[in-house]
A and B are shown apart, each in its own frame.
Chain A
Amino acid sequence: MTEIPVQERPGRARGQAGPLLDIRGLRVDFPDIDGAPAIDGMDLAVGRGEIVALVGESGSGKSLTALTVMGLLPPGAEVIDGDVVLDEEDVLSVSPKRHNKIRGNKVAMLFQQPKVMLDPTARVGGQVTESLRLHRKVGRREAKSRAVQLLKDVGIPEPKRRASSFAYQLSGGMAQRVMIAAALSADPELVIADEPTTALDVTVQAQILQLLKQKRDDLGLSILLITHDLGIVSTMADRVAVMYAGRIVEDGATRDIFDDPQHPYTQALLRASLLEAERGELYSIPGSVVQARELDHGCRFLPRCPVSAALGIQEVCGSAEPVLSTCGKQEHHSRCYASREYAEAG
């Protein structure tokens, strides 16, 4: 695997205390499936109080990254290398018992389909305070009143009545609010939100995003936002990390990524998400992530890359994977030979 110079690792150069979440050189593999590991040399940092968006196509390993942090890897998946440090504790080496303590307490997760994630047979109030009772040893009666307060905090009308509702009685937006209340109940420091609004209407989406942002501002929460909707990224994130075929190919401040994308994959993603026709046809990225798994050396994006061909540097790109390196602006990194730094160096 590619060596990344220490000083080039994102998040390392941050001023004060280290980042809240620091993923370094993570590799997660499904041993039963041929090809490169699903996550293959992933580096990602989320600072305290920061909203970092993790973007990329389906199959690039975004959700698997989240599940690794949560300690909820699906059967058949295995961490083969790397560190995941959460608040100065390596969560990959802790016991399952300790991981249970971390989950909910330090890190909580929001999912794409809130109605599916809620227990259909239990009342909402109990589910909201489950981790509170587990981690904070709060009694039954106090939990009940805390549930109402938590539901109120996420803007649920008639929280007292809603606490005794079942999941099927909630709309999608309401269910996601309940999930947020549950996630925040034990006062975690990091929330991983995996496509939290994909299943929701635009009007409700705006409300949920606003709620998350407000919680960040009020509580100093850190949020790792996984999404493929670049419109959401643009309004929510402080920093963006672009993931492709199991590793980060570009990261930087949100405006830098949108205004000055350096990696051809980022450029392609941006172009594909703009629903604006050029010569009557929308741009879509040729090929798929799946092909990348079959490459054993060289840049993973090469088979789909328009830039490499245009510059005539396929040979370089195919020989060794470029490292994630600074491109001009501070804290802006790109893993591409055609990025500014490489280009300037000759």
Chain B
Amino acid sequence: MTTVVTEDVHDWAASSPLVELHDVVKHFPAGSGKTVHSVDGVDLAVRKGEVLGLVGESGCGKSTLARTILRAVAASSGHIVFDGRDITRAKGKELKALRRSMQFVFQDPYGAFDPKMSLGTSLEAPLRHHGMKDREERRERMMAMLDRVGLEEAILERRPSECSGGQLQRMVIARALLLKPRFLICDEPTSALDASIRAQILNLLVELKEQLDLTLVLISHDLRVVRYLCDRVAVMYLGKIVEVAPRDELFTNPRHPYTRVLLAATLTEESTADDMVLRLKGEPPSPIDIPSGCRFHPRCPMAQDVCSVKVPLVSVAGPEHTVTCHFWDEVGPPPLSTAGPLPTSPSHPA
């Protein structure tokens, strides 16, 4: 690795991949001999210590990809490598050990806990399951975690219905981190929450990531959250990754037409009625009947004849910036509504 002479050794070590995906495919049968192509050949690496954003519309396969990585569902084909080991077919003890190091934060905090159980019982379950037999030890671990996520002990006696969304999301995060995982996937962790609570949860995630040395994948369709939190961003469309770039590069120099549409559709406090120009018609096509050629072509504002025939290859658009589009180098300047200075996020010290 002679190309990284400008960076120090620590940075280099920190950027080696923790999770690698090689041509990962997840298909579901849809009846009548048809297939749902939820995840359709994804190559992606998540580096140690980074926050990778995964964005795209509902139904594009973001959540299925996350579940496939975590082995909640088995991949149809391809390979998933975690920390240098191929875990695609891991089972039994190996899989159970793996579950401790990879955890998941769900979108809906209200539905994440058994409504009839006290939160304490729910929180204790993973510790019991993973063989922590000593009651005192379990309690100690839970208390330490509650302290980290900023909750009081009293919450353990309560049921989910007696808590606010913000409290429950803190509990979800506490439960996910209880087993000291190294890798955490957060699926829309703040979409069910108020702006003010959203800020609290994002602050918490940043803080915990630093303290616990976590690697994070953040799934979101809220690009404002992604822009705040992530180091790199992968854009997914209909089962495929169409663009990957470092955060600043993606937001200032998006190359895929779909990325540009997503950026343009994001409303901010500075948006006015003029910004609400419709740039994208229709909804994502069904993952059962994948369009020929480039799968974005039926909705693409700049599609040409070749797009419906030929599948575009991955092109390198810049350092660490890849894009899957025939005309990526003809895409113009970034859309107005997202132009402007980028915030300094905690994961990007100025």
Contact = CB atoms under 8 A, between A and B. Distances in A.
Contact of B271 (A157, A235, A269, A275): A235
A273 B270 CA distance: 12
Contacts of A57: 194-197
A58 B165 contact: yes
A282 B222 contact: no
A272 B278 contact: no
Contact of B344 (A198, A268, A273, A277): A277
B8 interface: no
A9 interface: no
Interface in A266-280: 268-270, 272-277, 280
Contacts of B200: 282, 284
Contact of A232 (B222, B267, B278): B267
12 contacts: A58-B165, A206-B267, A234-B271, A234-B272, A235-B275, A269-B196, A277-B228, A277-B344, A281-B206, A282-B199, A282-B200, A284-B203
Nearest to A202: B265
The 8 closest A-B pairs by CB, nearest first: A231-B267, A284-B199, A276-B343, A282-B199, A273-B195, A275-B228, A202-B265, A280-B346
A281 B269 CA distance: 19
Interface stretch (A11-19, A146-154, A168-176, A185-193): A168-176
A210 B278 contact: yes
Contact of A210 (B197, B202, B222, B276): B276
Given A235-B272, A235-B276, A277-B228, A229 B199 contact: no
A203 interface: yes
B23 interface: no
B194 A258 contact: no
Contacts of A280: 206, 344, 346
B282 to A, nearest CB: 8
Contact of A277 (B58, B275, B345): B345
Q: Which of B196, B203, B222, B282 has the largest count of A CB atoms less than 10 A from its CB?
A: B196
Given A203-B57, A206-B267, A275-B225, 19 more contacts: A57-B194, A172-B58, A173-B283, A202-B57, A202-B262, A206-B278, A207-B278, A210-B278, A229-B195, A230-B269, A231-B266, A231-B267, A232-B267, A234-B270, A235-B272, A268-B196, A269-B195, A275-B228, A284-B203
B196 A205 contact: no
A236 B224 CA distance: 19
Interface in A207-253: 207, 209-210, 213, 228-232, 234-236
Contact of B164 (A173, A236, A288): A288
B167 to A, nearest CB: 10
A193 to B, nearest CB: 15
A258 B268 CA distance: 11
A174 B194 contact: no
Contacts of B282: 157
A235 B283 CA distance: 22
Contacts of A202: 57, 221-223, 262, 265-267
B291 interface: no
B283 A171 contact: yes
Interface in B48-69: 57-59
Contacts of B240: none
Interface string B161-202: 000110000000000000000000000000100111111101
Contacts of B343: 275-277
A30 to B, nearest CB: 16
A274 B269 contact: yes
Contacts of B275: 235
A201 interface: yes
B9 interface: no
A260 B283 CA distance: 37
A35 to B, nearest CB: 16
B74 interface: no
Contacts of B344: 277, 280
A284 B207 CA distance: 15
B31 to A, nearest CB: 14
